[in-house]
Structure 1
Amino acid sequence: MPMLLGSKGKDILQWRASAELVAELEKRLVGKWGRSSAKEAEALLRQFIEGLDHELEYENDLQREISALEEGIDEITSPELLPTLLARHREVVSAHFRRRQSVLALCGICNSLHDRAVSKVAALAGERMQQLGQGNPPLHALIVCGDRGRGEQTLESVNRYLLLHEEEKSRSIMFSRQLSTSLKEAGLLAGDHLFWHGTLSNWRALVAGDAGGDEKEGASPLGNGSPLVPELEWRLEAMTDLHQVTGDAGLASAALSSAARTVLEEKNRGHFLQLARRVIALPLALGRFGRWRLEKDGEHRGEMDLQLLGIDPLVMTVRVLAVQAGVVAPGTVARIQSLLEKGFLTVELSERLLKAYQCLMQTRILSEIKTEQPGSWVNSEELDMEQDERLRVSLDTVLNLQKIAYQRMVGMG
C-alpha cells in the first residue's frame, strides 16, 4: 500500500491497512490455488517471486542513483554547480513517483536531498567568507520552515530559511549575506523575503509577534503563507513547522523550544482562536452544488488551484487542531495519527484523511512534474470519472474535518 510507505510505529492505521492488504492477498491466492494443479501453483509462486525480485532490484537501482547524487553534492566546489545535480535528482525522483505513486516515499527522498544540498551550500558560504578574508562563520544554526519543516518536501517546494546567529557582529552580517547569496545561486532560495536572520533574542521577539522595525501589524518578515490567511498564519507555521538543517544543535534547540513555549502560551488566547476560525472556514475547490471553483482569468483560467483550495485547508486545519491538542509532531500524517490517539479523530475519519492527503499530494506532485513549477493546478475537463470522484471524496473529507474542528474550537467556545 503506497500510502503507508515510510510510516513508522505500530499505529492503529498501519495495523488496519496491513490486515486489509494481507486479507485481500490471501483471498486471491486461495481462489487461484483452489483451481490450480501443483504445476500451475508452482508457476504462480515462481512468477510472484520473480516479480518481487524485479521490484527490489528497481529499488536498489534507485538507491544507487541517490547515492551517486549525494556524492556529487558533497563534491561540488561552488553553489552554481548544484542546479545540474538538482535537475538530475528531479528526473530520478519523478520517474520513481510515476511508478510507485508513493507520496511519503517521494517526500522522504526529497527531505534527505534538500538537507544535504542546503548543508553543503552553508559550508561553501563559510568557505567563501574565509577566502574573502572575512574570517570564520559565527556560531549559527540554519532552520527551515514550511514543507521541509513538516517533512513534506516535494519537487518544487518553496521554503523559508531562518538563520540564527550570535549577537549582532560584522561576521554574523557577512555570513548571512554570503549564505543568502549562495542559496539563491544554488536555486534553493526563491527570494530575499524567504530568508530571515537574527539572534536568539530577535527570534523570540519574532515568534512573540514583535518583529520590530517598520513591519505592519501581522505582516510577515518571512513572506506570507496562504493569501487567504495573510496576517497570522506565517507565525503559526514558523512556530510549529520547523526543522534544523545544519549548524549548532544547542542554538537550534533553544530556538525550537522557544517557539514551542510560545505555542503553549498562546493556544487559548484570542488571536489564535481568531486564526483558527479563519482556517476552519477556508474555501475548498468543491463549491456549492458540487461545482468546481475555477480560476476566472490569467494563465490558469478554467483550472482549479488544489494547493490553495485543497492542500492548504487540510494542512492548516490539522495544524490548528494539533496545537489545541498539544500534539508536537511536525508532519501532517504524524499529526493525524496523534490526533487519533488523543481521541480528537475517529479511526474512520483518520483513514479518510490519510487517503485525502495522499490523493491531493499525488495531484500536486503530478502537477509539479508536468509544469516544473510550484503549486497544484488541475483542469477539471481533463479528469476521468475515477479521478474526479477521488478528488470530490477527498475534498468532502476535508470539509468534514473543518466541521469537526469548528465544533471543537468554536462551537464549544
Structure 2
Amino acid sequence: MHISPDERPVDDSTPLATLPVRALLRRPPVTVPPDLPIQATARIMREHRISSVLVARDGALVGLVTDRDLRNRVLAEGLDPARPVIEVATTALQTVDIGDHAFDALLLMARLNIHHVPVMDGRTVVGIISSTDLQQQQSNSAVNLAGAIYRQESVEELVATASRIGQLQRQLAAASTSAHAMGRIVSAMTDALTSRLLQLAEAQYGPPPVPYAWVAAGSQGRNEQTAKSDQDNCLVLDDRYDPAAHGAYFEALARFVCDGLNACGYVYCPGEMMAVTDTWRQPLARWRDYFRTWIERPEPKALMLTCVFFDQRFVHGERALLDTLRAEVLQRTPGQRIFLAHMVGNALTHQPPLGWLGGISTIRHGEHEGTVDLKHTGIVPIIDLARIYALAGGIPAVSTRERLQAAASSGEISAERTRDLIDALEFLSGLRIQHQARLMANGQAADNYLRLDELSELERRHLKDAFGVVKDLQSVLEKRYLAGRF
C-alpha cells in the first residue's frame, strides 16, 4: 500500500483557481414553482434567509429570482405581487457545473455583471452560489481567519468568528487537502482562539503574577484536530507560584479560556483534563513529579494520562517552561522497558477491525451497528504506535507523522514500514475528514463511524490494507516488549 498525498497546505492556500464549486454549496437548493405568486416567493426567501430562489418546473430549472429582481421588477414598476413569479424571473440562465472551479464562476459573474449562478450536476440543479460566497471563501482562508481572530475584542465576537472554522474545514475537504495539512490548519485556528482568549483574560485580570505556559495536549497538541474535538489543555506554572497569592488569578484565567473555548465549539473534556481543573494547573516541579510517578508506576490511569499529556505543545506564555519539562521526560523514558511494555499493552486495546479471514468487521450492536470506527480502531492505534516509538527513542516530535519519520531515522522502525504507516494514517484520516464533511454538509453532527457502503471497491481494499499495516506493526511491538509478559 502506498498512497502519495499532496502535502501542500491549502488556505489562500485554497485559491479560487483550484477550489471546486461544490465546496461553496452550503445548503440544498430552495425552489419554487413558476406559478407561485411573487409575494409568496418573497415570503419563502425571508423564511429561508436567502437572497435568491430558483424557479423549477417538474424538477427542471427554468428561472432565477433575486432580491434585486423584487426591487427593480416588482416594487419599482408597481407590479401586482399576486402575479406569477416566472414573470419577473431571469430565464436566460448562465450556470456552472458542480465540478467547475470557483474561479470560473467568478469570471462568469464578472463578465456578465451578475451576482448569482445556479450550480448543476448534469441536468439536476444542486444549489446556487453568489458573489458573496466567493468573497466569503477568500475571507475564510486560514491566514485571513487567524487575522480576524486576533482582531476580536470580546468572547462574543470570537464565538461568531469561530463559526467560520467549520466552513474552512469543509472547503479544505472539498479541495482534497491532505489530512496532515488540514490537521495543522485546523489546529492553528484553535491555537489562535486560545491565544486571543488568553490576551483578553490578561486584559481583564491584569498581567500574570508569575510566568506560565499554556499547553495544548491531545489532538491539538499533535496538530491533528478535526471537526469533532474537545479540549485537552493544561498550565505549567513557574516554580515561584504561590497558591495562596497566585491561585485565584490562574484559576480565573483558566476558567475564562476554557469557558471561551467551549463557547467557540470546543467542548469541555469529559475527563476534565483541562487547565480549569486544579490538578492540571500546577508548577513545573509538580509536573516533574507527575511524569516520574506515571513512568515508575504505570497503572492504567497513569498510562491514560501519559497518552494525553505526553502529546504536549506550547501555545502561549513562557515556552521555556514546557521545553524544560519535555526535555527531562524524554531523558527518562528510553530504556524503561517495564513502562514501555505497559504502554504497548495499553495500545493493543485498540485493534484494527480485521476478522480471522482478513475481512473488515463492522460494529455488531448498538447505535453504530454496521459501521467502522475510523478513529479508535484505525487512527488511534497509529497514534499510539508513534507515541511509543517517541518514548522509546527520546524523540521530541509531537505530531504523529513527525514522530514516525524521526523513529525511522533513529532505527525504531524501518523506513519502509514508516512509509506504510504514514500512508495508512493519511488514508484513514482522509476517509474520516470526507465522512465528516458529508455529515456537516447535510446539517448533521460530525462523527467517526463510517459505513462501508460509503466507499468504492478500491477504497475498501485500501482500507483493508491500511488496517493490515497497523495490525502487523502492533504485532512487532507486542513481540518486542510483551514476549514472556516481562
* Fold agreement, TM-score > 0.5: yes
167, 172, 177: which one aligns with 1:96 = 172
Match of 2:448 in 1: 376
Match of 1:11 in 2: none
AA aligned opposite 2:305: R
1:63 to partner: Cα distance: 8.4
Match of 1:20 in 2: none
Alpha-carbon distance between aligned partners in 2 of 1:67 and 1:323, rounded to the nearest angstrom: 34
Q: Please list the CA deviations of residues 115-148 of structure 1 after superposition, one character each: whole Å capped at 9, or x if unmatched.
A: 1111001111222324xxxx75642210011112
Q: Please list the CA deviations of residues 231-281 of structure 1 after superposition, one character each: whole Å capped at 9, or x if unmatched.
A: 3433322453110000112323233334334434xx524243122133246
Alpha-carbon distance between aligned partners in 2 of 1:108 and 1:174, rounded to the nearest angstrom: 29
3-state DSSP of counterpart to 1:100: coil
- Structure 1 vs Structure 2 CA RMSD: 3.1
Match of 1:227 in 2: none
Larger radius of gyration: 2
Alpha-carbon distance between aligned partners in 2 of 1:371 and 1:64, rounded to the nearest angstrom: 20
Match of 1:194 in 2: 273
Alpha-carbon distance between aligned partners in 1 of 2:395 and 2:263, rounded to the nearest angstrom: 37
Check if 1:146 corresponds to 2:230: no
AA aligned opposite 1:194: M
Check if 1:361 corresponds to 2:429: yes
1:301 to partner: Cα distance: 2.0
Distance 1:96 1:175, change over 3 A: closer
AA aligned opposite 2:411: G
Check if 1:326 corresponds to 2:394: yes
178, 181, 190: which one aligns with 2:259 = 181
Contact 1:359–1:394 at 8 Å: present in 2 too?
yes
Match of 2:311 in 1: 241
Check if 1:79 corresponds to 2:155: yes
Contact 1:138–1:175 at 8 Å: present in 2 too?
no
Alpha-carbon distance between aligned partners in 1 of 2:435 and 2:235, rounded to the nearest angstrom: 31
Name the count of aligned residue pairs: 344
Alpha-carbon distance between aligned partners in 2 of 1:278 and 1:360, rounded to the nearest angstrom: 21
1:155 to partner: Cα distance: 2.8
1:191 to partner: Cα distance: 3.6
Contact 1:305–1:375 at 8 Å: present in 2 too?
no
1:305 to partner: Cα distance: 0.8
Distance 1:138 1:274, change over 3 A: same
Q: Please list the CA deviations of residues 344-398 of structure 1 after superposition, one character each: whole Å capped at 9, or x if unmatched.
A: 3333322221211111111121233234556421112332211111100100111
Contact 1:273–1:409 at 8 Å: present in 2 too?
yes
Contact 1:126–1:137 at 8 Å: present in 2 too?
no
Distance 1:112 1:177, change over 3 A: closer
Contact 1:207–1:262 at 8 Å: present in 2 too?
no
3-state DSSP of counterpart to 1:351: helix
Match of 1:125 in 2: 201
Match of 1:33 in 2: none
Match of 1:167 in 2: 242
Distance 1:367 1:208, change over 3 A: farther
1:104 to partner: Cα distance: 2.0
Check if 1:398 corresponds to 2:470: yes
1:158 to partner: Cα distance: 2.9
AA aligned opposite 2:377: L
1:307 to partner: Cα distance: 0.8
Alpha-carbon distance between aligned partners in 2 of 1:137 and 1:118, rounded to the nearest angstrom: 20
Match of 1:157 in 2: 229
Q: TM-score, normalised by structure 2?
A: 0.63
Q: Please list the CA deviations of residues 148-202 of structure 1 after superposition, one character each: whole Å capped at 9, or x if unmatched.
A: 2122222333341011233312323332333333332333342470313122222
Contact 2:149–2:161 at 8 Å: present in 1 too?
yes
1:320 to partner: Cα distance: 0.9
Q: Which runs of 4+ in 1 moved over 4 A?
A: 61-64, 135-138, 372-375
Alpha-carbon distance between aligned partners in 2 of 1:247 and 1:120, rounded to the nearest angstrom: 12
Check if 1:272 corresponds to 2:347: no
Distance 1:155 1:407, change over 3 A: same
Contact 1:364–1:376 at 8 Å: present in 2 too?
yes
Distance 1:189 1:206, change over 3 A: farther
1:285 to partner: Cα distance: 1.8
Alpha-carbon distance between aligned partners in 1 of 2:208 and 2:482, rounded to the nearest angstrom: 52
Match of 1:207 in 2: 291
AA aligned opposite 1:340: A
3-state DSSP of counterpart to 2:372: strand
AA aligned opposite 2:174: R
Distance 1:204 1:345, change over 3 A: closer
Alpha-carbon distance between aligned partners in 2 of 1:210 and 1:339, rounded to the nearest angstrom: 23
Gaps of 5+ in 2: 10-100, 108-133, 275-279
3-state DSSP of counterpart to 1:316: helix
Alpha-carbon distance between aligned partners in 2 of 1:406 and 1:300, rounded to the nearest angstrom: 29
7, 10, 18: which one aligns with 1:5 = 7
Contact 2:141–2:168 at 8 Å: present in 1 too?
yes
358, 371, 379: which one aligns with 1:303 = 371
Contact 2:194–2:257 at 8 Å: present in 1 too?
no
Q: TM-score, normalised by structure 1?
A: 0.74
3-state DSSP of counterpart to 1:289: coil
AA aligned opposite 2:223: G
Gaps of 5+ in 1: 8-50, 212-216, 220-229
3-state DSSP of counterpart to 2:333: helix
1:296 to partner: Cα distance: 3.2
Match of 2:351 in 1: 283
Normalized per residue, which structure has more helix?
Answer: 1
Q: Please list the CA deviations of residues 58-116 of structure 1 after superposition, one character each: whole Å capped at 9, or x if unmatched.
A: 9xx76873333122211212223323322212212321222224112212211321211
3-state DSSP of counterpart to 1:198: strand
